[in-house]
Structure 1
Amino acid sequence: MHGHVQGVGFRYATTRRAAELGLACEAQNLPDGTVLVTARGAAADVDALVDWLRSGRTPGRVTGVDAQPV
């Protein structure tokens, strides 16, 4: 994920949205200014979280989301 998200409640909002979807989720700031979001759960629910992250409804300014299944 890329963009300016620190200091705007982004991590809290992301983990709250993930919990609403029934996902286990962690969001952490990385030294380069990006945020790493790790979500575990049903594929459709993870996809819904990724869609939300790309939607523009998140706090902060997200300029890119790279989603990778593990």
Structure 2
Amino acid sequence: MAKTRAHVFISGRVQGVFFRSTTRSKAKNLSITGWVKNLKDGRVEAVFEGEDDKVKEMLDFCHEGSSAAQVSDVEINWEEYQGEFSGFEIRYEW
């Protein structure tokens, strides 16, 4: 199975609604590696690495988000798979 990497920016009401923790749980269930974090401008940024179909499933999730989220846009940048992550984490730096 081919592997891929997606660098995404999610806009809308995505902070303070458990978006990051829900994303982390979903990623772990799908064996996706990478990270997710809040941005100062109110968006959420994430990097997902894994099997093509699993990454696409994560991107589908990003369009919905957590139950309290209201996603207005998902910007997806496809990148070369690097295999640099050992798990999936929430990052807290700006």
Q: State whether residues 2 and 63 of structure 1, in contact with CA within 8 Å, keep that contact through their aligned partners in structure 2.
A: yes
Partner of 1:58: 66
Q: How many residues were matched structurally?
A: 69
Normalised TM-score (structure 1)? 0.88
**For each residue in 1:39-68, what CA deviation from the matched residue of structure 2 results, as whole angstroms up to 9, or x when unmatched?**
1111111001001112x3523111111111
Specify every segment of 5 or more residues in structure 1 that has no aligned partner in the other structure, as ranges: none
Secondary structure at the aligned position of 1:65 is classed as strand
Specify every segment of 5 or more residues in structure 2 that has no aligned partner in the other structure, as ranges: 1-9, 80-94
Give me the CA root mean square deviation. Answer: 1.3
Percent sequence identity is 29
Larger Rg: 2
* Richer in helix (by share): 1
Structure 1 stretches of at least 4 aligned residues deviating more than 3 Å after TM superposition: none
In structure 1, distance between residues paired with 2:54 and 2:19: 19
